Amino acid sequence: MKYEKEINRRKTFAIISHPDAGKTTLTEKFLLFGGAIQTAGAVKSNKIKKHATSDFMEIERQRGISVATSVMSFEYNNILINLLDTPGHKDFAEDTYRTLTAVDSVILVVDSVNGVEEQTRRLMEVCRMRDTPVIVFINKMDRDGKNRFDLLEEIEKELKISLHPMTWPINSGKDFKGVYDIHNKSLVLFTANTKANDEDVVAIGDINDQLLDQKIGDTDARILREDVELVEAVHGELDEEDYLNGQVAPVFFGSAINNFGVKEMLDTFIRIAPVPRSRPTTARMLGVGEDKFSGFIFKIHANLDPKHRDRIAFMRVCSGKFERNKYYHHVRLDKDIRFSNPYSFMARSKDVIEDAFPGDVVGLFDTGNFKIGDTLTEGEDFYFTGIPSFSPEIFKELVNRDPMKTKQLEKGISQLTDEGVAQLFTQFGGNKKIIGCVGELQFEVIQYRLLQEYGAACEFRTLPFYKACWLTSKNEQKLEEFLRFKQQNSGEDKDGHPVYLAQSEWFLNTEITNNPDIEFHFTSEIHK
């Protein structure tokens, strides 16, 4: 392999969690370890005092939630880490889903107080679909939470994955004393509101060593010995192949806000997490070690810099070497494009790069050429598979409140839906624009951004639709007849593909039964 050394130096992963589980805080601790930032922004009570490094947009800073996926690159122990911080809020599940197509592994943050929450379940389903390797970080151990054994049982049952504890907590809440590192046979002591440093790590060759009793007291030492004996008897050594195949998840306990237990996880991540892998395409399985460049767009973000009307397309490099100022083939548009200022990211700061290798995420300045899922190659025609749009759950009509700004509204909604913030459908027989989203918060974001970035005022009217289904049929005449008869309930998506908007599950099932020649699809990937 021509670029083997570069490929083996890279680890690309995403942090996923339910909102408020501590994901953005953990992201910052990683950046501190990598020397990428000097001080962490405090994300507390949903008000960001010092802006969290990874939260881009104004609306995120006001609400203290991550709305758009941020991309950050940093080095740690000579490994180049590409970290994608995803929105925790359920209303942005689709953005998170697409981000998971661009990474090779995942760190899942679970709040020890609340345990497994609904969004955690949905995110894990996505990981299961792709057999993505997962490491679990159980956060907030310094708060009174669930019993550690109960918590592990709950995670295994709810998320349908086997766990393998790598560290073990000594108490929790105000009695939390630290963790025992099962793999390295060492004790890491916890002091609230201080960073863990090398002096807090006590190497213990044997867990029966009396040093343990001196450090944490007889009672806690006895309980820890019993716990570790039980854990080792049940789990044994971690099988790294099982982890890489997505069947077993190593587990770490800690407190991200206190920077505790994070280093142990990061060191293990560096050791076992997968390097970039080969990927399926519409033509063949594309080898990560192939000489020729290929990559795909998994995210588009408009107006990262409010002073400049820019759009950045985020591209994951899948094979070969990407070079600045070289022409690459845009498969969908069938034209060659070159990029004079490709970026790497450190949250809001951008650095122009000369080249990039598999696993890297590159920001490409975009003038409207890209849509999510687009592929760039050195001439070959194929698409990377597994980057669908899902059927939205809430539908609203976009209403223009200022006819003088019609052009700005059309441009704005076109660009925002290209980003994948929401889906845009145009109703047949009229020009009604229907926005489909996963959650209510997305409509707020769209309304806010249309006004702030495009000067277009709009409002939304709720529509009585239950689901959007993409339609295909071998019998074109039947499809045309169906769309003509169902004008009130049909339209097309941004790419001109026909879509049926069902009012209820009953209507949908009735139409599926009555139209055997037509296929109803719940994701858009059929059109690739």
H helix or E strand, kind and range, residue 181: strand 178-181
Quote the CA–CA distance of 505 and 391 in Å, as a whole number: 13
Q: d(Cα 241, Cα 381) in Å, to the nearest integer?
A: 33
pLDDT tens digits, 240-269: 999 999 899 999 999 888 888 888 899 999
Cα–Cα distance between 106 and 13 in angstroms, integer? 5
Residue range 70-90: mean pLDDT, rounded: 78
What is the 8-class DSSP label of residue 342?
A: -
Is the pLDDT reported for residue 379 higher than 80? yes
Domains for the chain: give ranges and CATH numbers: 4-170+236-272 (3.40.50.300), 279-377 (3.40.50.300), 394-527 (3.30.70.3280)
Rounded-to-integer distance, Cα 319 and Cα 359, Å: 8
> pLDDT-derived band of residue 154, with 50, 70 and 90 as boundaries?
very high
- CB-based burial label for 147 (10 Å; 0-12, 13-18, 19+): exposed
Instruction: Map tokens 């969004």 to a residue.
Output: 119
pLDDT of 455 above 50: yes
Mean pLDDT of 209-227: 86
> Most confidently modeled of 142-146, 198-202, 309-313?
142-146
Residues 387 and 316: beta-carbon distance below 8 Å: no
Tokens in use for 283? 């033509």
C-beta separation of 224 from 171 below 8 A: no
Residue of 496, 471, 467, 474 whose CA lies nearest to 482: 471
The reported pTM is 0.79
Q: What share of the chain is helix, strand, coil (3-state, %, to 5)?
A: 30, 30, 40
Amino acid letter, residue 86:
T
Q: How confident is the model at residue 56 (pLDDT cuts 50, 70, 90)?
A: very low
pLDDT tens digits for 284-320? 999 999 999 999 998 887 655 555 556 788 899 999 9
At 488 the pLDDT is 86
* CB 325 within 8 Å of CB 340: yes
pLDDT at 304: 54
C-alpha–C-alpha distance, residues 508 and 506, integer Å: 5
Structure token pair of residue 299: 């995210």
